Structure 1
């Protein structure tokens, strides 16, 4: 492909990342049809792929995509008896429509859908993540994710699920799925699963925006505040997470002078306010408390690992998962030693076989025990499984050392 074509594809990828979710939300709001809205977005993308290499990237690529989607939508609406009432509504949306994506998330997270389908559909339709990115977030196959999305969209159409925020009396019961969606969106942005970039700040921005909007809408729900605190505590350490060469910097090696102390204090205060609800802490509050323990330590050596281990035990009791067990093993290393931590990983080989962090953690523990050959093989496995360029650079550097 020509340089012009390459540039067009780069611009298209940027537009999709930044605007596809908002465009899909607007179209669903106008049309009330998930499948049609996504089809219109994909049709516009395919049209751009055909035309931009020859015609050049337009000055307003987002508006260009919407115009193409609108024209195609008009063609579809003309086939309906009610098209005249809808035609006038298909105008370019205002730059800031605050609730469109949030309403779409609650619609995607309707209780008629399975939890896995709720999350996959929202990440795909609202946030514009690819099937591969969602599969990486779930640690499942792409085909499985694609099936979940297809079935979920079919279910929404067949059940006539409305595009609206739930009434106040239903909000508490619907929060779990919405919080999980925002959390996975943040995770994908904080450490990308794709080879194009190490992190996706736009996805992190979206996650924080949605979390803040949700926390403001349901101020009496401590888990909403807990998730917002968790995201902001992680972001406060963002400046120290990568070195000048783009390599990932592990927590033990980060320059804590580059952490945003004011942001840490504000996020911790938010977490404290959530705890005053006197409810049993939920999983997001517990995770935020773990990150706060790390953030409050003056240096790595003064980390309160005993407290972190207690918090992980509480989290596992409340929401057991193999990834949480893996993180707990890291805390166990600093309380009971590398050998005890390594033994904890044996039961995780099957559920996390394709999770690079499992193998990278095992390599660290093996290296601490002087088993360098085994550590090297584990690092090689981790390197083969990750697509993230910053993780690849870090693992390649570690392999050079051994």
Structure 2
């Protein structure tokens, strides 16, 4: 597998475009489109929130129907959630605009939205945006990058990644883009994520791979404990790489799984580090746990704790906060088995050893925690399972951003 520059337009046959539709923001792009020259097999995962945006319901219908998918239209600024029939009608109008412009069936067009909940989308602006983007679709890397920028809300950086690998003597590419900065505590996937590939693969295997990959990538993010109404992750495969269709698990499937995992993990870490107001990526790694579920539960509890996040922001090696979070996580363990460490590019420091606090170098601890990426490691000494969760520190700016989000 090889990492390459690019994103959703990196695989053969995929194009992207963006535009400034003026849906909510002024002076910036706020709509994006991803389009395949041929229909794609598709897979998806969606929010577990009982309150689902109209676009989530629209996309679930496409994925679950077994139909192909050929395009995705995304807007930022307004979430199209809690909008009743009018919100669903906006999805249909957007899809039918793509049908008119690109001659693809409207029921193969996915839609996604992100932004303020409870506001209606201006359908005229959506349709005008589709018309504009249909004329500027491009294979260029830059087109994919601009699309990833157009779907940002409170994000400070765009998020895209791509890799290649070999299957049946053919070069296959997987590319992706995502957005997400706040209201992130997913139980199914991420805020918004779109992954493209030119691989030929059976739809059921695609869905199985995606559902498995998210468990240790997007499902391990937590920024603020809020699960969005709009969480959507879509995977499109158009088969234009020309490989023999993957219809069963084996070496070729494993290569695809690794590539998909790599792209999703990069995007997940990128999102966590760009949490609203964040100054650093905060990771928790659990090793030697009794079970995979315990490892995931413990890791997410650590990065999800506001007290832990505040300690990371303040560069305070107050290890009791991390142990406390582990203790109320629901996973059972003996604190007398646990070792706790802080680690970053500046070094690694043990602060807790089998039930006992250690007399550690506070200055060295501060040095470790001042880095842009900080990890807390807990060795449970109870098994051989591990998991890593991705979060960020809790800063003053988080409250400022969310106190005036609608304005």
Q: Using structure 1 for the length normalisation, give the TM-score.
A: 0.34
Q: Which has the larger radius of gyration?
A: 1
Higher relative contact order (CA 8 A, sep 6+): 2
Higher strand share: 2
TM-score by structure 2 length?
0.34
Higher helix share: 1
